Each structure stands twice: as C-alpha cells, then as structure tokens.
Amino acid sequence: MSETQTLRQWLLTETPTSRRHAKISAFYKGWLTLRSNTMAMIGLGILVAMLFVAAAAPLLAPYDPFVQDLGNRLAPLGVEGHVFGTDSLGRDILSRLIYGTRITLYIVALVALIAPIVGLLVGTVSGYVGGWTDAILMRITDIFLAFPRLVLALAFVAALGAGIENAVLAISLTAWPPYARISRAETLTIRSSDYISAIKLQGAGALRIITKHIWPLCISSLIVRVTLDMAGIILAAAGLGFLGLGAQPPSPEWGAMISEGRRFILDHWWVATVPGLAIFTVSLAFNLLGDGLRDVLDPKAGE
Amino acid sequence: MSMLEVDGLNVWFGKHQQRVDAVKNATFAVARGESFGLVGESGSGKSTILRAITGLAPDWSGTLSIEGQTISKRRPKSFYKQVQMVFQDPYASLHPRHSVDQVLGETLHLHGFQDIDNRVVKLLDDVGLGQKFRFRYPHQLSGGQRQRVAIARALAPEPELLLLDEPTSALDVSVQAEILNLLTDLRAARGLTYLMVSHDLSVVGHMCDRLAVMKSGEIVEIMSVAALRKMDARHPYTQQLFEASL
C-alpha cells in the first residue's frame, strides 16, 4: 500500500495486488452493498442485539426467570417492576424473554446448521450424478415430504426422547427435504452449462465439480430459504414444546410461553402476545437480513 | 501422422425411438499445425463432432485418434493436456462466481503445474489481458475479454490441438476481428493445430487451410480454402452455401 493511498482506496481498488487483497476487497464491497440496504441493516441490527441480549442475559434480566410469585400472578403490562407483566405463576415475563433468546438462538443455530447442509448434500449429489442415485435419493425425499412435518417430528422425538436437543434434531430431520429439492433443481440447470463442461475438460472429478462449482451457486438461494423458514422452525419447536416433547417447563422457551399463555388469552392477552411479538421480531429480522444477503451473494446484482 | 484422425464417426442422442443421429459417418484428418474448418448450417452436427472428440457427447461410435493413438471412451487426464476446447458463448462458459484468477489457477492446479502464480500472469499477457484483469469476475468483463479468458483457460495446459466452437459468433463484429487475430497469432507462436467450427464462410476463409462442409450430420465435401476463395464447389449444397453467403 502506497503512502498516499487511504485504507478505503486500498479496499476499493479495481486492481488488487494479491489473492488475499482481492478477497478482503470483495468482502468489503459486499459489506458496502449490505450496508446500503437499510432493511437488511435493520434485520442485522436486531439479530446482533439479540446475540448481545443472549450473552448478557444474567446482567440484563431484572428477575430470576424461574422464581415464582403466586401473589402477583398475571400482573398486567407496565405494572411496577414488571414491564411486560407476569405469567400464570407470577414469573417476570421480561426476564423469561431475555433468557429465552438463548434457547431460540440455540434452536435456530442448530437447525440452520443441520437441515440445509443435509439438503444441499442430498440435492446436489442427486442432481449431478443422476440415474439410480437420483431416483433413490428423491424417493426418500418424497417419503419425508409426504408426512406432515410436525407429525414426523413427533415420531422422531418419541423415539429419541423428549428435550430441546432432540426436538431440534427432529425438526432438522424433517426440514431438509425442501432444501434438497431446491438444490437438486438448481443443480440440474447448472450441470449442463458450458462452464461445467469446461471444467470437465480440465479433468475435474465429480467431487470437485459438486463442491467447488455447484455449491457456490446453490448456497445463495438456500440462505434465503433458510432465513424464510426460521419463523416456522421456531414455531415448530414451540409446537413440540406445547405437546410436552420439546422444551420442558419451566424452561423459558418462547413457544412454550405462548402455549402456556394460551389458556388466559381472552382475559390476560399479554402473556401470550409478548413472546409472540418476540418471535415475530426475530423472524422478521431473519427475513430482512436474508433478502439483503441474497443481494450481496449474487455478484450480478447491483451492477 | 495426423494430429487428429476421425474415421467413420457416428454420434447420436437418446435411445430407441427417440434416437437422433447428429453425426453420420464423418471421416476427416487434420495434420499437425493445420487449421481445419467445419462449416454448415445450424444443427448440421458441427459442434457435436467437437463434443464427441472431447467426450462431452457420450454416445458415439467409430474411431478417433490423436497423433495415432486411439481415444478410448474414458479419456485419461493426459488427453486433456493435448486437446482443449474454446466454447461458443463466453457468457456461458465462465463460472459466474469464479474470478479470472480462480478459473486459470484451478485449471493449472488440475493439470499439476507448480508455479501457478507466474503462469496465470503469463497466460493473461499471452491473450492480451493485463494483470489488472486477474481478480475480476466474469460480470465485470466484456464479451471479448471473457472470450480471451476462455482462450487463456484452454491454453493453460499447453495443448497441441485446440477445438474452437464458433469462438466469435457471440461477439460484436469489431471484437470478432480482435479475437480471430489473437487466435491466428497464438497458433503461429505456439504451433497449435486448430479444428474450428463456424457457420461464417469468411471467418473460415480467414482462419483455415482446409474445410469440411456438413449437411444434416454428414460431411458432403472436403476442400481447400483456395477452392473456397474461387468458389469452386463440387457438391450442390456447397454451391448453395456459397451463394447464400455472397
């Protein structure tokens, strides 16, 4: 870097001097694209705030989320000391929400790691290899798709045992087929393109073509799809919790909090509404960010 | 010994009732250092011959040989060091997420070269693109620049035979001349053998020494470029083609 050149110029150069420089520069340009998208930044902001809240939960929460106060049950919003009121056992809803971010993030992170990766693997192999492999993998996918998601997850949890980890695993196992379908469809269009033919002519094997040439093109649509599915995933975990197969009481999982508040929804609406709003906010944040990420990940956009 | 010999080549797509014979009994030979053209209208099987030679069209019969060595159905890696192909459409033949550096670097890596950095720089210079294009992505390049990258990729393994599938038909007229001149220069500098597909007789007249005229999958005539310039055609279809191109 010459002395007259600022860091910004170095990052935005049209003619990078090394492979590392090119990578950093591309990353910075991607960040600029994301930053110029206000909605995506709002989404990112919410998620960063949520990460912070989850990390600092013991410092931020005014009360212990498990301490009951039966004399002060179902206190309304804004009552002294309880901003969001209390639930049916007199526990502070704000504190439970704050601790609940940890569980929500945990669910989201695990499902987002397992389901799309399994789906990507199955879909691209199926689409690229074709023939019998394709037929077998896609029929397995069909079987998974044919079951209602929650029912299948129920069966898995029943087999694995109740608990949040097993619920996440069960949701992941039922969530991968749509990802497999998407990546297979993309692979089918990509595999016959000239640039795949061109790399075949360099003697590249199937493994290299799938991982280095097909995956990068499938990933952006998968990311968008994953962010759109996040709300459904959180709610599926909540549904399992409601049936007694997911998060176990007194765990402050948001979905479980909603199903608990359902009993009082007519007279004490906030007990179910506040965690519902939290789920809504997080889902919205994921959707906004996903939309922005797609713009960044697609190099042809923004030209 | 010819660089490339094609003897009784048949290529077909599909099976049973849906079978389409794209190339029927094609026979020709290309000498070392020669530039041979394949001309004909769309769908006459010109590009299919190239795809059969490279193995991209899997169903074929007949004999193909490179420098006297018969090509087996499953091509060894050494085959791709000898024979490379430039595709018709530079907008489709470069991976949209790979920078020029990645495209050339990966090609060199696959062929087992060690000094990849130096070679990438040299290849870019050879095709008339400077260093500054090295880390660009395809969407940041013009059609002509993309085709130069595609040519650099084909040259990376240092092949002896280059298959050119209408390398200029997707480009502007002004850029076409640049690319054709580049190909002429590269052939002179590296002693390459070209097998070039085109539907443009003037391009073939400019680039090639001999040509074969194809019609619905069959080679109807093989002639020299001198005969092309004199419009000295024996087959009625060739005469028709000449008249149409006037």
**What pLDDT is recorded for position A89?**
84
Give domain limits for chain B. Answer: 4-244
Containing domain of residue A186, as a range? 48-57+79-297
Task: Confirm if B197 and B46 have CB atoms less than 8 A apart.
Answer: yes
Strand-pair partners of B5: B29, B65
CA B20, CA B115: separation in Å to the nearest integer? 45
Name chain A contacts of B132, Cβ cutoff 8 Å: 14-15
- At residue A4, the pLDDT reads 62
Tens digits of residue pLDDT in B195-231: 999 988 888 888 899 999 998 889 999 999 888 888 8
pLDDT at A3: 55
Instruction: Kindly tell me the burial class for residue B67, based on how many C-beta atoms sit within 10 Å of its own C-beta (0-12, 13-18, 19 or more).
Output: middle
Q: Which residues pair with B69 in a beta bridge?
A: B66
Q: Is the ipTM of this complex over 0.90?
A: no
Confidence band of A34 (pLDDT split at 50, 70, 90): confident
Query: Model's pTM, two decimal places?
Result: 0.82
Q: What is the mean pLDDT of residues A153-165?
A: 84
What residue in B sits closest to A193 (Cα-Cα)? B92
The reported pLDDT for the residue numbered A302 is 42
Give residue B33's Cα distance to chain centre. Answer: 14
Mean of pLDDT values over A128-134: 91
Q: What is the DSSP letter of B72?
A: P
Q: What does the pLDDT look like over A167-210, one tens digit per residue?
A: 888 888 888 999 999 999 999 999 889 999 999 888 888 899 99
Q: What percent of chain A has pLDDT over 90?
A: 24
- Provide the domain count of chain A: 1
pLDDT at res. A1:
47
Of A21, A195, A200, the CB nearest to B92: A195
Verify whether the Cβ–Cβ distance B132 to A14 is below 8 Å: yes
Q: Taking the CA atoms of A132, A135, A138 and A140 in sequence, report the sign of the dihedral they define.
A: negative
Q: Where are the beta strands (DSSP E) in B16-142?
A: 20-30, 35-40, 60-66, 69-70, 83-86
CATH number of the domain within which A200 lies: 1.10.3720.10
pLDDT computed for residue A142 by the predictor: 92
Chain B residues within 8 A of A198 when measuring between CB atoms: 85, 87, 93-94, 150, 153
State the count of interchain CB pairs (< 8 A) between A and B.
71
Task: Please give the average per-residue pLDDT across A139-146, as a whole number.
Answer: 91
d(CA B205, CA B186): 18
In a domain, A16, yes or no: no
Q: Do B85 and A202 touch (CB under 8 A)?
A: no
Q: Which has the minimum average pLDDT: A69-83, A182-196, A272-286, B28-42?
A: A69-83
Tens of pLDDT, residues B145-193: 999 999 999 999 999 999 999 988 888 888 899 999 999 999 999 999 9
Q: Over chain B, what is the mean pLDDT?
A: 89
CA angle A179, A181, A182 (to 5 degrees): 65
CATH 3.40.630.30 for domain B4-244, yes or no, is no
**B57/chain A closest Cα distance in angstroms:** 10
For residue A201, give the nearest of B54, B97, B137 by CB distance.
Answer: B54
In a domain, A63, yes or no: no
- Residue in B198, B195, B206 with CA at minimum distance from that of residue B229: B206
Identify whether A285 is part of a domain: yes
Angle at B115 between CA B114 and CA B119, to 5 degrees: 125
* Interchain CB contact of B101 with A (< 8 Å): yes
**Cα Rg of chain A, angstroms:** 23
Contact A105/B at CB under 8 A: no
Q: What is the mean pLDDT of chain A?
A: 84
pLDDT value, residue A303: 38
How many CB atoms within 10 Å of residue A44?
Answer: 18
Contact B139 A14 (CB under 8 A): no
Note whether A199 contacts B: Cβ–Cβ < 8 A: yes
Phi, psi of A109 (to 5 degrees): -65, -45
Helix ranges restricted to H, chain A = 7-12, 19-36, 38-55, 57-60, 93-129, 131-146, 149-160, 164-191, 194-200, 206-208, 215-242, 254-261, 270-297
Burial of residue A96 (number of CB atoms within 10 Å: 0-12, 13-18, 19+): buried
- The Cα B36–Cα B21 span in angstroms is 23
